[in-house]
């Protein structure tokens, strides 16, 4: 089915044609042979706990994918952190879901990577405002997936308007350099005044202050131009001109304060990562982060059959048998055979997702975000020894 921008249609995903060709040939072969065994398949990234945690998300889309299929699915809750073992298990006749494996893994792998990277940023600046600015780096069709992952990881907002429509959230943002160019060098004050006059009052007055002159000069001009109406300045200095970015921000803060503009916030953007944010979080009030999130590696999930007609089975290098996963009282991640007792004081992380093709779980983004941040605190996600 042709679509205007070359994307795969929802119908193709749901019917199973959004798949790798060998799954179609597998179906043809099994149907020819009259085989359709009952299996348990598990989705994993690592077999044993590694100590390096990732965020699990995308589970709501998987539930939609499997709705109406004769399967039972258990999975970690949306936003939970894991570092090994299964994150999901599927039980049912194999041909009920053979072709869905490709889409299933895609629904989990990339959003979990986005969310993990966003959580790295959140933990790097836990007390600052952090916004997702990276939708321009991905295909527009998945922008809502990026922004949802950012919100799940605790970021405070995002910039993509259509993603906001999908998520029921308001997109944020003020002005680009293009607006400043349209007014021209020497007319920065005119640009800020026009923005202040034209844009609704509920939009923060954040002046872009690094376009033509140095950051200090434009920040002071913005403060003089808009006075008490100015909420903050955004410094987006390109890396080739940045030098010691922390020193630049400290200088801007000093000069604003020296002239009585203590209430003007400083917002930083432009290629920021956790390592570059940490030195800035005590001198800047907020950050816009893009490519660190959108350029994140996908979590390398795979799906493997671990039980065939009730008997343990696995390929070489994988662990056979149906498993469960637990969060221990010390914050660890424990993997055990489902038929055995879990660790003392451990809490099973698997929850029902689909039963006989019916979705049995509700999804709430705010709850998932709270879960993600609590789990990050429990397992010490992103902690850095700054004394070293």
Tokens representing residue 36 in the block: 């359709």
User: pTM of the full predicted structure?
Assistant: 0.95
Q: What is the mean pLDDT of residues 225-230?
A: 97
- Per-residue pLDDT at 344 exceeds 90: no
What pLDDT does residue 388 have?
41
| Contact yes or no for 266/246 (Cβ under 8 A) | no
| Contact yes or no for 205/227 (Cβ under 8 A) | no
Q: What is the mean pLDDT of residues 159-184?
A: 96
Q: What is the mean pLDDT of residues 190-205?
A: 97
Kindly report the average pLDDT of the chain as a whole number: 95
pLDDT band of 238, cuts 50, 70, 90: confident
More confident residue, 267 or 48: 267
Least confident of 214-228, 258-272, 372-386: 372-386
- Per-residue pLDDT at 140 exceeds 50: yes
What pLDDT does residue 342 have?
87
pLDDT band of 387, cuts 50, 70, 90: very low
More confident residue, 107 or 242: 107
| Contact yes or no for 253/265 (Cβ under 8 A) | no
Q: What residue spans in the chain does CATH classification 3.20.20.70 cover?
A: 126-294
Q: What is the mean pLDDT of residues 175-204?
A: 97
Q: What is the mean pLDDT of residues 350-368?
A: 97
Query: What is the tens place of the pLDDT at every residue in 65-119?
Result: 999 999 999 999 999 999 989 999 999 999 999 999 999 999 999 999 999 999 9
Q: What residue spans in the chain does CATH classification 3.20.140.10 cover?
A: 10-113+299-379
pLDDT band of 126, cuts 50, 70, 90: very high
Provide the CATH number for the domain formed by 126-294 in this structure.
3.20.20.70
Q: What is the mean pLDDT of residues 356-364?
A: 97
Provide the CATH number for the domain formed by 10-113+299-379 in this structure.
3.20.140.10
- Per-residue pLDDT at 246 exceeds 60: yes
Tokens representing residue 292 in the block: 């660190």
């Amino acid at each position: 089915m042709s679509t205007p921008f070359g994307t795969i249609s929802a119908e193709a995903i749901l019917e199973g044609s959004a798949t790798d060709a060998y799954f179609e040939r597998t179906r043809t072969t099994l149907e020819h042979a009259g085989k359709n065994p009952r299996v348990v398949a598990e989705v994993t990234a690592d077999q044993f706990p590694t100590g390096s945690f990732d965020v699990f998300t995308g589970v709501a889309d998987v539930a939609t994918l499997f709705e109406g299929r004769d399967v039972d699915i258990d999975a970690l809750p949306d936003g939970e952190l894991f570092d090994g073992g299964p994150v999901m298990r599927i039980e049912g006749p194999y041909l009920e879901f053979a072709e869905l494996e490709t889409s299933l893994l895609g629904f989990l792998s990339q959003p979990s990577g986005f969310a993990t990277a966003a959580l790295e940023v959140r933990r790097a600046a836990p007390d600052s405002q952090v916004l997702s600015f990276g939708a321009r780096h991905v295909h527009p069709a998945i922008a809502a997936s990026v922004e949802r992952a950012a919100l799940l990881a605790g970021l405070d907002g995002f910039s993509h308007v259509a993603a906001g429509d999908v998520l029921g959230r308001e997109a944020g943002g003020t002005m680009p350099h293009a607006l400043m160019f349209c007014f021209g060098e020497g007319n920065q004050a005119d640009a800020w005044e026009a923005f202040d006059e034209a844009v609704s009052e509920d939009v923060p007055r954040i002046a872009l202050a690094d376009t033509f002159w140095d950051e200090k000069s434009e920040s002071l001009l913005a403060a003089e131009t808009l006075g008490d109406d100015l909420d903050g300045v955004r410094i987006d200095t390109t890396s080739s001109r940045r030098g010691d970015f922390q020193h630049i921000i400290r200088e801007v803060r000093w000069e604003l304060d020296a002239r009585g503009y203590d209430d003007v916030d400083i917002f930083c953007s432009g290629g920021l990562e956790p390592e570059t944010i940490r030195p800035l979080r005590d001198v800047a009030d907020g950050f816009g982060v893009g490519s660190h999130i959108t350029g994140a590696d996908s979590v390398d999930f795979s799906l493997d059959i671990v039980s065939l007609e009730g008997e343990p089975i696995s390929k070489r290098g994988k662990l056979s048998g149906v498993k469960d996963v637990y969060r221990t009282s010390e914050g660890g991640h424990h993997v055990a055979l489902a038929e055995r007792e879990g660790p003392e004081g451990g809490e099973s992380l698997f929850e029902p997702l689909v039963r006989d093709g019916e979705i049995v779980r509700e999804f709430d983004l705010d709850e998932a975000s709270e879960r993600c941040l609590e789990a990050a605190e429990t397992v010490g996600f992103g902690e850095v020894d700054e004394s070293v």
